[in-house]
Structure 1
């Protein structure tokens, strides 16, 4: 049966008030996987209650671990792992499931995971993961869509140089290397804040990881790890989404949990547009105030790995650019299919021109018109909801399942800021 989950948005409301971001999806998923490295019960606080986290917990359940929520605290007991095969029906839903490969082969010497799924953002090579694990001594076999890794004599330290600073590959290799014999160095590793958060958790478990957040990560292998307790970092992509939505609606919102060091390039681009985002006095977040988005000006944006402009905030910036004065060119350098949201925005009269395969010319200001659109992926779906806030009339965003994968209480948070957003499940439609 077709999934008919959707968001209904009545446009025209300025966002105002105070809102707190949830824990980071892209950190929490890897931290949950890392809990597999230690026998016993690890505890993670500030875990977002989203579909992807539910999927990762189900993956761990299939391996024999126990994952139990208590509010936004997640307890993961990995004392009794009785399977080293991640279930296909779960891994195909979410590409991040691939990160159980490193912990399993690191602790148990074997793992089997199906090739990952997730958002349709284009070709996703996972050879960086496999090459890194091979360098650590794992024997890798691709068999009918499954990745099988074995290291019966354990892993050993190695020098690993990534051609591209892949976040999940860096994290996968880090998690495998913490139990390897000897020293591992990762050059050209990802520098994202989520990598630093994972390293902090691993070190709390007894690992020796240095240099996370830089291009050179050094890991001294240890014999064993122990369970630990950790607070998941706030979600910088949710924070950026709320900041841009506030700017686009001409609102006044304090985004609690937003950290300026996590949004360096994004805040620089907003400053270039004429928007000053101020730090809340006690360092608890960021305040955004815009009288009229038409007083802002267009800028050019190119997505790059951190500390560059995040590809996960590109679609939201595209929506903001439709409201400001002048033109801006967005260049997508990370995922080749990520500009497809422009086609849906054009159904709302955004007037975006696509050219060169990975560039979009956005001219503003445009009055968007409410209509029925389809979320192409997680971040594109959030951007369409954001566009609905600006549009005249009613906007229906189908494919809400994408958005639910990554935003915790999205409609409740927007509604608390004065937006008119309603989530409508397929069950309620059929009823």
Structure 2
């Protein structure tokens, strides 16, 4: 099993190109099941989760062709996927595939909407909490689906098609909003989603569906209205830049010091996180090229942060911010309100010499003057990259084990950091 070796103490200077957003790419790929024409997705990141979803779609009879580079493409330009679900041969998504990636459960919506039935394995537990699918199923029932659970599988049926309806989520759910949005595009009549998630990835998926012929208004607000259509067409769509990758590298620069251009990044996608970084002492400037972040030799200031749905501070940047605050001059507090069990990185950060105390959903971080490199183990995607951030400022060597977690969500992380002066290498087992 691969691991990563990092020698800390190097400032970061240069340019880091931001990849397409994983959290938009996956539902966009799944949306290809809604049409028998080809969906072309540009700027798709090269990630383990993307490759796995290609396998899952292939199980349904979907053909995925990876386009080659175009003239003038740079080294980090994303892939172009040509996805064709002309003929769906199987409406079952088996446990051995769905259990490896929770987002793959969302295939239930387009399969049900287009084929009138779906049999999809329940995704099971997760290292960062249960994240149940009850709200997703509630949204499908609101559109007239008959749903039962048998043998660990969700059996969904709508033999006469889905009908428009009102979906009212008791709490904000990104997965539920994606599910309801996709299902409603082919439902007869009008669907209204109340308390919808407002994340930029929801807007990106809605924009793509509109290009395919869907009639959607209100994406990006808490109320989305969809007027169902009888069929969707193919389309070409470019995936928006990854705001979590942007925030992660911004925090890495704030931790290590230096001056880096995050090329292609869009500040409006993560303004709350950028505001926190400015409060912590980083210098941030938006340009036509992207976002420039710098931190000179001045210390890191402590912050108080509560994670929240967009436009609040993203839960997917909580672990990275905690790593940064381990070196702050003072005491920081981070409260996690989205997922339970999302403090699994705390024990690993302590191996660097960090001082962190947990009380329920709040972590208190006492900044220390120095971190020391150590062997550490990744527990999930975002936790793993928090260990990389800590290692960039730690004295000596750090070995990060279980880096397959990193490969799920960060494209060419070592190459991007090394290009800016980091000392990081992958070691094969």
Q: TM-score under structure 1 normalisation?
A: 0.95
Partner of 1:38: 35
| C-alpha separation in 2, matches of 1:350 and 1:118 | 29
Mapping 1:301-316, distance limit 5 Å: 301-316=305-320
Question: How far is 1:112 from its partner?
Answer: 1.1
Query: Match of 1:373, SS?
Result: strand
- 2:55 maps to 58
- Partners in 2 of 1:304 and 1:202 — Cα distance? 26
1:361 to 2:364 alignment: yes
Alignment of 1:295-374 (within 5 A): 296-355=300-359, 357-374=360-377
- Aligned with residue 423 of structure 2, among 410, 420, 423: 420
**For structure 1, which segment, 317-326 or 220-229, has the greater mean C-alpha deviation from structure 2 after superposition?**
317-326
**Match 1:292 to one of 272, 285, 297:** 297
The residue aligned with 2:196 is 189
Checking the alignment, whether the CA contact within 8 Å between 1:165 and 1:189 is kept in structure 2 is yes
1:236-285: per-residue Cα shift (whole Å, max 9, x none)?
000000001001111110101221111111111122223331012x2x21
Structure 1 equivalent of residue 396 of structure 2: 393
Q: Kindly state the Cα deviation for residue 145 of structure 1 after the two structures are TM-superposed.
A: 1.1
Q: Given the alignment, which residue of 228, 233, 238 partners 1:231?
A: 238
Q: Distance in 2 between matches of 1:208 and 1:82?
A: 27
Contact 1:51 1:406 in 2 (8 A): yes
8 A Cα contact 2:91 2:117, kept in partner: yes
Gap runs ≥5 in structure 2: 69-78
Taking the aligned partners of 2:62 and 2:188, their CA distance within structure 1 comes to 25
Retained in 2: the 8 A contact 1:119–1:378? no
Are 1:122 and 2:129 matched, yes or no? yes
Q: Which moved more, 1:64-73 or 1:371-380?
A: 64-73
Post-superposition Cα deviations, 1:376-429, rounded to whole Å, max 9, x if no partner, equal 10000011111111111111111111111111111111111111111223xxx2
Structure 1 residue 117, shift from structure 2 partner:
4.9
1 CA distance for matches of 2:125 and 2:27? 15
Who is 1:16 aligned against? 13
Secondary structure at the residue paired with 1:61? helix
Matched residues in 2 for 1:328 and 1:221: separation?
A: 48
Q: Distance in 2 between matches of 1:103 and 1:269?
A: 38
Q: Deviations over 1:82-109 (max 9, x none)?
A: 0001132111000000111111101111
Q: Contact 2:306 / 2:336 at 8 angstroms: preserved in 1?
A: yes
**Partner Cα distance (1:119, 1:7) in 2:** 24
**Cα contact 2:14–2:420 (8 A) shared by 1:** yes
In structure 1, the partner of 2:211 is 204
For 1:214, the equivalent position in structure 2 comes to 221
Q: CA deviation at 1:118?
A: 7.5
SS of 1:344's equivalent? helix
The CA distance in 2 between the partners of 1:400 and 1:119, in whole Å, is 17
Please show how residues 141-290 of structure 1 align to structure 2 within 5 Å. 141-280=148-287, 282=288, 284-290=289-295
Residues 183, 5 of structure 1: alpha-carbon distance in 2 compared, 3 angstrom cutoff: same
Equivalent pair of 1:349/1:366 in contact (CA under 8 Å): no
Contact 2:281-2:295 at 8 Å conserved across structures:
no
Any stretches of 5+ residues in structure 1 without a counterpart? Answer: none
**Cα deviations across residues 215-243 of structure 1 (Å, max 9, x unaligned)?**
00000000100111000001000000000
Match of 1:112 in 2: 119
Correspondences of 1:78-97 after superposition (within 5 Å)? 78-97=85-104
Q: How do 1:65-84 residues align onto structure 2 when only pairs under 5 Å count?
A: 65-71=62-68, 72-84=79-91
Q: CA RMSD in A?
A: 1.1
* Other structure's SS at 1:339 match: coil
Superposition misfits of 4+ residues, deviation over 6 angstroms: none
TM-score (norm 2): 0.96
